[in-house]
Amino acid sequence: MSVGEARPHEAAALHVTGRALYTDDLALRAPGVLHAHPVQAPHAHARITRLDPLPAYAIPGVVRVLTAADVPGANDSGTKHDEPLFPDEVMFHGQSVAWVLGETLEAARLGAAAVDVGYEPLPSLVTIADAVDADSFQGARPTMVRGDVEAGFAASARVFEGVTSFAGQEHFYLETHASFAQVDDDGQVNVSSSTQHPTETQEIVAHVLGLASHQVTVQCVRMGGGFGGKEMQPHGYAAVAALGATLTGRPVRVRLTRQQDMTMSGKRHGFHATWKVGFDDDGRLQALEATLTSDGGWSLDLSEPVLSRALCHVDNAYWIPHVRVAGRIARTHTTSQTAFRGFGGPQGMLVIEDVLGRCAPVLGLAPEELRRRNFYVEGQATPYGQPVRHPERLDRAWQQVLDTGEYAVRRKEIERHNAGDPHRKRGLAITPVKFGISFNFTSFNQAGALVHVYKDGSVLINHGGTEMGQGLHTKMLQVAATALGLPIERVRLAPTRTDKVPNTSATAASSGADLNGAAVKDACAQILARIVPVRARLGTDAPWEDVVRAAYLDRIQLWAAGFYRTEGLSWDATTMTGTPFKYFAYGVAAAEVEVDGFTGAYEVRRVDIVHDVGDSLSPLVDLGQIEGGFVQGVGWLTLEDLRWDDSEGPHRGRLATQSASTYKLPSLSELPADLRVALLERATEDGVVYGSKAVGEPPLMLAFSVREALRDAVGAFGTPGTSVELASPATPEAVWWAIESVRR
């Protein structure tokens, strides 16, 4: 049995020894490869009045300047037709307006600096507030409604109103955006791309080049992290490489420097939310009315589905009888914000967790009591109408964290500590996660696989999902080995390619293993079914190799294409109702922190997590996903401080945090001193491959426990019953300001 075994990541040894090949490693092995460098605009918003490539050609080693005039197909790098690959109007500071190909990267860089571009600066909108004032929005404006909020407020004993705004997040995958293109003798375009969505990269490359999809093949060997940032954003870079290769006949590589990546690519959406909430005498939520405004940046990209998921997660784990939540997407002159682990879910959930964290002291309830009291119970449905299945799992995880985390004992210890120390206060908090699994857009919930059994009995599998470090390939090997009843060493996996499995969905929404795993299993089952007569003839004890050999001689097809579609899903994007999710993933975390009253600096002392992954396909991989997701969430909520220059000065709109020196990421020193993760037991999920649940995104939201623990510690500097407002990210500086305000 291979599924459920604790195995290291299939490429762990390659990763840590540096032998793993990434897209740009392939490029550097190609003789005669040309290097691409962008010409980045120095304005947040400007009309391009002149673009003269001639001076670049004076630089030795410059081979070709790519401009709009070179595009044989559509000058468009997105799926919404609002993202010109070569713009005539600059929409954000750092946008590429042309690309230069050189014999060396240095030649390309000098060439890019020499391209003569004239700009006529235009007024720009840098913040959500700027966009709201200017009535600058894009895309749909959905509203999710259940019940009657007015009646809910009328029946509420307490009603509160507030504003919650919070920042986005830079993906900071270790491997920046990379693409490498080659054209063969017949004009067939082959692109290697660091992309979570090879099919869509293929489609964009095809439409830019004016080709059909069968003339373009996209491969993704692996990514050095994607985190959602490579779901939609790689397409333009792939198109630049493919266009360059087509025009020059030479291989072309595009690989962004960190600074280019940070200034050009989209990030997690920051949000601004206004809310009004009603509770009854017992602290039970009665009504929630809110308006969520996301910062979409300059183009739509994935902002609409991200907003939908935000609306679908404002309830988090809580039953709210009357709900009216409106969403809208600000259009600003910044990078085009995109998918990022959780895909809007974290943003929606942050709103309700902030509401509960702020209201608890005023309601006279411990925050954990307020949260627990409002949990869904069996028979209740989400605001969009999907029944909440297995809510008792959340109770179980919650209780386990309280018990094994010795919550009550530590609460007492902390009170004792805080009473004795005026300058350093400790805080403790426990928070739940309920996260819907499946793409909201029902059609995306399909996957394919290709399984080959060779005459010697060895097996090669291919599936539509991409590997970005999350261990999908490891899980797929385990699924195939289990389905075929073979040792895992007999199975190998080939890189993801659009000519192997077509029409794939992005590897996203945490559904990679659910969808592709079921497709791999389906292909294996087809092959096994075909060889049943051979097995019957040779006896059940016959070695696999003998059965395969005999099956081949009998002219039995030893390979199969598998397919899977998730049944039972529905979603109406206009009414915002349906059953968009196959199931919910649950988790609970408790965090303890200590805050210094002089500086606002803090440390996370201990974290206890119980997370529901169903029957784990691969427990070590899942553990890594939980730890990694949690820490990435802690980074978003407490450290990573994304800033654009919003002054009226000459650098207006410029990303101020464009490298690791100014953008603080969580590192080893920010890990909780004591981090304990357990998988929820007795958690088989029926109807999913081997009873497993998705794990990629949900654990990120366990990090709310840290934010709420910081709030608790800040509160200890003031008088009990004070509502604590905490900025997000809750950097030491923000924590210090929060302490200042509760002291007053």
Gap between the Cα atoms of 15 and 19, Å rounded: 6
> Minimum Å distance from CB 219 to ligand MOS?
19
Please identify, using beta-carbon distances, which residue of 508 and 688 lies nearer to ligand MOS. Answer: 508
Residue from 625, 658, 692, 728 in contact with ligand MTE (CB under 6 A): 625
**Residue 470 engages ligand MTE in binding (rule: CB under 6 A):** yes
Residue from 228, 580, 629, 698 in contact with ligand MOS (CB under 6 A): 228
Q: Any bridge partners for residue 448, and if so which?
A: 563
DSSP-based three-state secondary structure for 526: helix
Half-sphere exposure of 535 (CA within 13 A, CB side): 10
One DSSP character per residue, 313-379 reads TTTTTB--SEEEEEEEEE--SS------TTTTHHHHHHHHHHHHHHHHHHHT--HHHHHHHTB--TT
Gap between the Cα atoms of 733 and 738, Å rounded: 9
> Minimum Å distance from CB 228 to ligand MOS?
3
Are 189 and 294 in contact by the 8 Å Cβ rule? The answer is: no
Q: Any bridge partners for residue 595, and if so which?
A: 425, 602
Q: State the distance between the two ends of the chain, measured CA to CA, in whole angstroms.
A: 62
* Residues 6+ away with beta carbon under 8 Å from 716: 418, 425, 426, 427
- 628 touches, from ligand MTE, ligand MOS, none (C-beta below 5 to 8 Å by class): ligand MTE
- 512 touches, from ligand MOS, ligand MTE, none (C-beta below 5 to 8 Å by class): ligand MTE
449-483 burial, b for 16+ CB within 10 Å, e for fewer? bbbbbeeebbbebbbbbbbbbbbbbbbbbbbbbbb
Gap between the Cα atoms of 628 and 618, Å rounded: 15
**Residue 312 engages ligand MOS in binding (rule: CB under 6 A):** no
Binding residue count for ligand MTE, defined by CB under 6 A: 21
Residue closest to 573 by CA, chosen among 376, 434, 698, 439: 439
Helices (H) and strands (E) in the chain, counts: 21, 26
Please identify, using beta-carbon distances, which residue of 62 and 437 lies nearer to ligand MOS. Answer: 437
**Residue 593 engages ligand MOS in binding (rule: CB under 6 A):** no
Residue closest to 322 by CA, chosen among 360, 285, 283, 280: 285
**Residue 62 engages ligand MOS in binding (rule: CB under 6 A):** no
- Which residues, 342 to 371, sit near ligand MOS by CB under 6 A? 343
> Minimum Å distance from CB 449 to ligand MTE?
14
> Minimum Å distance from CB 302 to ligand MOS?
9
Q: Any bridge partners for residue 271, and if so which?
A: 166, 294
> Minimum Å distance from CB 563 to ligand MOS?
22
Phi first, then psi, for residue 361 (nearest 5°) are: -60, -35
- 511 touches, from ligand MTE, ligand MOS, none (C-beta below 5 to 8 Å by class): ligand MTE
Please identify, using beta-carbon distances, which residue of 242 and 513 lies nearer to ligand MTE. Answer: 513
- 472 touches, from ligand MTE, ligand MOS, none (C-beta below 5 to 8 Å by class): ligand MTE
- 169 touches, from ligand MTE, ligand MOS, none (C-beta below 5 to 8 Å by class): none
- 468 touches, from ligand MTE, ligand MOS, none (C-beta below 5 to 8 Å by class): ligand MTE
Gap between the Cα atoms of 220 and 222, Å rounded: 6
**Residue 195 engages ligand MOS in binding (rule: CB under 6 A):** no
Please identify, using beta-carbon distances, which residue of 139 and 696 lies nearer to ligand MOS. Answer: 696
Active site residues: 697
Q: Which helix H or strand E contains 420, and what residues bound it?
A: helix 407-420
Please identify, using beta-carbon distances, which residue of 306 and 683 lies nearer to ligand MOS. Answer: 306
Gap between the Cα atoms of 312 and 696, Å rounded: 18
**Residue 463 engages ligand MOS in binding (rule: CB under 6 A):** no
- Which residues, 191 to 250, sit near ligand MTE by CB under 6 A? 225-228
Residue from 168, 628, 698, 715 in contact with ligand MTE (CB under 6 A): 628
One DSSP character per residue, 630-677 reads HHHHHIIIII----B--SSSTTTT-BS--STTTSPPP-GGGS-SEEEE
- Which residues, 505 to 524, sit near ligand MOS by CB under 6 A? 508-509
- 690 touches, from ligand MOS, ligand MTE, none (C-beta below 5 to 8 Å by class): none
- Which residues, 432 to 461, sit near ligand MTE by CB under 6 A? none
**Residue 636 engages ligand MOS in binding (rule: CB under 6 A):** no
Site string for ligand MTE, 494-513 (x = CB under 6 A): -------------xxxxxxx
**Residue 697 engages ligand MTE in binding (rule: CB under 6 A):** yes
Residues in touch with ligand MTE (CB under 6 A): 225-228, 341, 468-470, 472, 507-513, 625, 628, 694, 696-697
Residues in touch with ligand MOS (CB under 6 A): 196, 228, 231, 339-341, 343, 508-509, 697
